[in-house]
Structure 1
Amino acid sequence: MSIDAASRPLDIDAAAASRLDLAAIYRDLHANPELSFQEHRTAGIVAERLGALGLAVTPGIGQTGVVGVLENGGGSTVLLRADMDGLPVLEQTGLDYASTARGTDADGNDVPVMHACGHDVHVTCLLGAVEQLVALRAEWSGTLVAVFQPAEEWGGGAQAMVDDALFERIPRPDVVLGQHVAPFPAGWVGVHAGVAMAAADSITVRLHGEGGHGSRPETTIDPVLMAASLTVRLQSVVSREIAPNDAAVLTVGQLHAGTKNNIIPAEASLGLSVRTFDDAVREKVVTAIERMAKAEAAASGATREPEILFEEHFPLTRNDVPATERTAAALRRALGDDRVIDPGMVSGSEDVGVLASAAGVPLVYWFLGGFEPALFADFMRTGRMPEDVPSNHSPLFGPVIEPTLATGVSALTAAALEWFAGEPTV
C-alpha cells in the first residue's frame, strides 16, 4: 500500500513541539542515570509514558528492559530500539542538569554515574517518535514495537532480552531500526551500509608471579615487570602483525598490581579492549595476545601460565545494504539530502545487532549528531570535529538539546514510516 506520510518531509519544528515535553524528559533522565541492569527508575518512566500513549507495555524483559507494542492493522512490524544505561563516570559538564548520582557497580564498588554516552538522548527520541507515530496512526498500517534495552554498556543487554523470550513475548519484527548520538553537528545523521561498527572484546590477562620483599627481588618472580613488558609488547600487535589495509585497535585500559611500595606482589592483571572489523583479523589479534602473554610469563620464569579471561563481547554491527539504502532515502526525504552523510566504519561498538540476528531480519543503525550545528563547516572540511569536542564516554559529553532531539525524533519517525509503507523488500 502507499502511504503519503512516508513520502513527504517531516516537520522538525513539529517534532520539537510534541505534546510530551521532550526537553524536560531528557534533562530528568540526564540528571538521574542508572548503571547497567539497574535502570529501574528509567524503565518506570518509559513504561508510564508508553502506557499513556496507548501502547501495550511489557516491563522486566531481560531484567529491566521495557517493550511497548502498538498494533495498527495489517502490514510490516517495525522494531525501534533505544538503550537506557549510564556509565561509571563522574560528570564534569557543568550543566545545570548535570548528574550527581552514584551507584554500586557489579563488583560492589561505589561509583559516580553519568549518561556519558547519550542513552538519555536515545530514550527521549524514541519516546518522541512513538508519540509522533501514534498521532499519525491514521496514515500508516502495521505493528510498532518500541524496545528500551538495558545494559548496552555491559554488552549483554540485548542478549539478556533475547534469552528472556523477547521474540516469543512480542511480535517478531521485519526490521530493526535505531540510532546513536555522536560527536558531530546536531541536525545531521550519518548512516553507513555494511559493517558500520566494530566488534569489541574486553579481555583480562592475569599474570602469576611469586611475591616477596621489595628489597630482595631475586627471591621473587615479579609480575609487575611482567605486566609492564607485556603492555609494551602488545603495542606491536596492530603495528606489526595487522596489514595496513585492515583495521584493529588494541588498548590496555587497566593495569593493576600490588598494595605497598616495598612489596612485590604475586599477581598483576591487565584489562584489554580489542576492536576489529573482520572476524579473521579478530582471531589474529586474540591469538597474538595469548601468545605474547604466555611468552612474557615464560621469559620471566613464571611457574604458572597466565589466565586469559574473555569478558564483554560486542559483535560486528552490520547494516543490511538494501535495507540501509531504503532507510537512508527516507532519512534524506525527511531531513534533506545534505543532512544525511556516510561516516564510514566507526570503531565504537554496539549490541543492537543481537536483536536483528535473533529475529533473522535486517538491521539499520545510524548516528545522530549531537553537538553545535555551526561546527558543520569544519566537520565537512576536515572530516572530523575540533579536538576539544568531547567524545562519547568523556566526563564532558553533553549533547545540545536542540536540534538533537527534534532531529532524532524525525529520523526514527521517518524510518518507521518508510517500513510501514509496504511489506519488506529485503
Structure 2
Amino acid sequence: MSRIDAVLTRLDDTAQAELATLYRDLHQHPEPAFEEKRTARIAADRLRESGFEVHTGVGGTGVVGVLRNGEGPAVALRADMDALPVLERTGLPYASTENGLMHACGHDMHVTCLSGAAHLLAAARDQWQGTLVALFQPAEEIAAGAQAMVDDGLFDLTGRLSVVLGQHVFPRPAGTVFIRPGEILGAADSIEIRLYGRGGHSSQPERTVDPVVLAAAIVMRLQTVVSREVSPFERAVLTVAQIHAGHKENVIADEASITLNIRTFSPEVRRRLLAAIERVVNAEATASGAPRPPSFRTLNAFPLTANDPAATVRLTEAFTTRFGPAGVADMAPMMGSEDFGVFGTAAGAPSVFWGLGSADPSRYARAEQAGRLGEDVPGNHSPFFAPLIFPTLPMGVEALVTAALTWLNRRSP
C-alpha cells in the first residue's frame, strides 16, 4: 500500500458524507472579505481537533495550522475563505441564506477540501515526517488577504517553507485536475478614476463642463488601447465596469467616476496599459476643459500567478501516477487572477497552483458539443455557479494529500 493509500483509507463514505455536510453548511453561510469569522472559527476548531498548533486572526481573519512531525520539508497548503457580493440563483436546497452574498467562486469547496486533507494527514503521521502548514486565507477576492497574512508575521509562525501548494475549482469536468508550469493566471489592476466638471442646469450646458460627456469620451477612447497599443501576440484585457454620475435628470453633475479593470500576463504590457490609461484620461479631461485634473485610486492589484517549473513537473508526475493520464489535463493560461503567488514569493519558496474540475462531466460534454459552454455550464462568479459535490470534494481532498506527500518525507523507521 502506498503512503497516499494509507492516508486516504480514512476517506470512506462516512468521512465523505461528513465533509459534504460541512461544505453545504459553509455554502449556506458565506462571509465577505475580512469578515470570515464563522468560517475561520470552523476551520480553526477542526485543526485543533486534529492536533495542529493553531493561530487565529492572522492578517485579520486568517487561520494558520502548524503540525510539526519530525525533521523534513515544510509544506504549506492554502485555501481561501471569502465570498462574493452575488445574489445566488442556483435554487439549491443549501443555497446561501445571506441575501446578496454567495460562494460564487468555490472558496467553500476549497476550505472543505483543505480541512479534510489536514485531518487525514494528521491522523496518519506515521506515513510522513516534516511540517505541514494549513493556510486558511481571507480576502482573496480583493487581493489583500495573502499580503495581510505575510505582513502579520505569517512566517514567524510557520518557519521557513519548502513549497506552497493550492488549488481552485473551475467549470471543467469533475474528476480531473488541470495544471501547467509557468504563467497560469494573469495580473489584474482595478482603478477608480474621478472626473471633475462644472455642474449646472441641463438647459444651460454652455455654462457647464459635463463630466458625463467626458466619461463617455474616455470610455470609447480606452477601447483602442488594447486593440492599437498592444501587440496581437500579447494578452491583455481592459474593461470599464462602472460609471457613476449625477442624481437628477435636469442637473448636470459636478463629478463622475469610472471604475476599470485590466488583465495582463506581461509586466511590460501592464506598465504600458497603466500609462496609456493615465494619458488618455488626462488628455480627454484637458480637451473637455475640466477645471481640475482627474484623480486616480488603485482599488486592488493582483500579481501574476506563475507556477514554479520544476515543482510543477514533479507534482504533475505525482498526479498522473495517482489519477491516471485521463485524470490530469493541461490548464491553459487564464485571465482570472489570484493572490496565491504572494505566499511563495514572500517565502522565497516554489509554489504550484492547479485547477480542480467541478462541473458535471456529461453536462459539460453536451454543452461543449453544442458550443454552449458559456450558457449551459455556469462559471466562477456566476449566480448559478454550483460545483458538483461528488466527485469534486473527495478528489480535491485526494489532490491535496497527494501534493503534500510529494514533498513530505517518508517516515523514518
**The 10-residue stretch of structure 1 (387-396 or 349-358) with the greater mean CA deviation from structure 2:** 387-396
| Distance of 1:384 and 1:173 partners within structure 2 | 43
Amino acid in the other structure paired with 2:330: D
- Give the alignment partner of residue 301 of structure 1, picking from 289, 297, 310: 289
Is contact 1:78-1:416 (8 Å) kept?
yes
Deviations 1:77-101 (A, max 9, x none): 1000000000111111111111131
Query: What residue number does 1:174 align with?
Result: 162
Query: What residue number does 2:276 align with?
Result: 288
- Give the alignment partner of residue 106 of structure 2, picking from 113, 118, 127: 118
| Distance of 1:5 and 1:57 partners within structure 2 | 25
Query: What residue number does 1:216 align with?
Result: 204
- Give the alignment partner of residue 187 of structure 1, picking from 153, 160, 175: 175
Q: CA deviation at 1:385?
A: 3.5
- The 1:403/1:409 distance shift into structure 2, 3 A limit, reads same
Amino acid in the other structure paired with 1:245: F
Query: What residue number does 2:299 align with?
Result: 311
- Give the alignment partner of residue 151 of structure 2, picking from 163, 174, 180: 163
Q: Is 2:75 the counterpart of 1:78?
A: yes
- Give the alignment partner of residue 3 of structure 2, picking from 1, 5, 10: 5
| Distance of 2:263 and 2:185 partners within structure 1 | 9
Unaligned 5+ segments in structure 2 are none
- Give the alignment partner of residue 35 of structure 1, picking from 32, 42, 50: 32
| Distance of 2:119 and 2:49 partners within structure 1 | 10
TM-score (ref. length: structure 1): 0.92
Q: Is 2:249 the counterpart of 1:237?
A: no
| Distance of 2:259 and 2:192 partners within structure 1 | 5
TM-score (ref. length: structure 2): 0.95
Deviations 1:250-277 (A, max 9, x none): 1111110110111110111111011000
Is contact 1:91-1:100 (8 Å) kept?
no
Query: What residue number does 2:84 align with?
Result: 87
- The 1:365/1:167 distance shift into structure 2, 3 A limit, reads same
Amino acid in the other structure paired with 2:3: A
Is contact 2:7-2:120 (8 Å) kept?
no
- Secondary structure, counterpart of 1:254 in structure 2: strand
| Distance of 1:240 and 1:23 partners within structure 2 | 49
| Distance of 2:201 and 2:227 partners within structure 1 | 37
Is contact 1:12-1:407 (8 Å) kept?
no
Query: What residue number does 2:251 align with?
Result: 263
Q: Is 2:216 the counterpart of 1:228?
A: yes
Deviations 1:163-207 (A, max 9, x none): 001101222210000001111111111112101100000111111
- The 1:354/1:153 distance shift into structure 2, 3 A limit, reads same
| Distance of 2:127 and 2:161 partners within structure 1 | 20
| Distance of 2:10 and 2:180 partners within structure 1 | 26
Q: Is 2:272 the counterpart of 1:275?
A: no
Q: CA deviation at 1:15?
A: 5.8
| Distance of 2:371 and 2:73 partners within structure 1 | 37
Identity of aligned residues (%): 54
Amino acid in the other structure paired with 1:140: W
Deviations 1:321-364 (A, max 9, x none): 00001011111122221111112111100001111111000010
Q: CA deviation at 1:368?
A: 0.7
Query: What residue number does 1:339 align with?
Result: 327
| Distance of 2:12 and 2:76 partners within structure 1 | 20
| Distance of 1:412 and 1:273 partners within structure 2 | 32
- The 1:188/1:307 distance shift into structure 2, 3 A limit, reads same
Is contact 1:184-1:385 (8 Å) kept?
no
Amino acid in the other structure paired with 2:60: Q
- Secondary structure, counterpart of 2:26 in structure 1: helix
Q: Is 2:139 the counterpart of 1:151?
A: yes
| Distance of 1:330 and 1:385 partners within structure 2 | 30
**The 10-residue stretch of structure 1 (13-22 or 31-40) with the greater mean CA deviation from structure 2:** 13-22
Deviations 1:2-26 (A, max 9, x none): x9415x6986994664277110000
Q: CA deviation at 1:131?
A: 1.7
Amino acid in the other structure paired with 2:254: A
- Give the alignment partner of residue 69 of structure 1, picking from 43, 66, 75: 66
Q: CA deviation at 1:387?
A: 3.0
Query: What residue number does 2:376 align with?
Result: 388
Query: What residue number does 1:128 align with?
Result: 116
- Secondary structure, counterpart of 2:79 in structure 1: strand
Query: What residue number does 2:51 align with?
Result: 54
| Distance of 2:149 and 2:285 partners within structure 1 | 40
Q: Is 2:193 the counterpart of 1:205?
A: yes
| Distance of 2:375 and 2:9 partners within structure 1 | 29
- Give the alignment partner of residue 350 of structure 2, picking from 362, 373, 382: 362
Is contact 2:177-2:327 (8 Å) kept?
yes
Q: CA deviation at 1:417?
A: 0.5
**The 10-residue stretch of structure 1 (10-19 or 24-33) with the greater mean CA deviation from structure 2:** 10-19
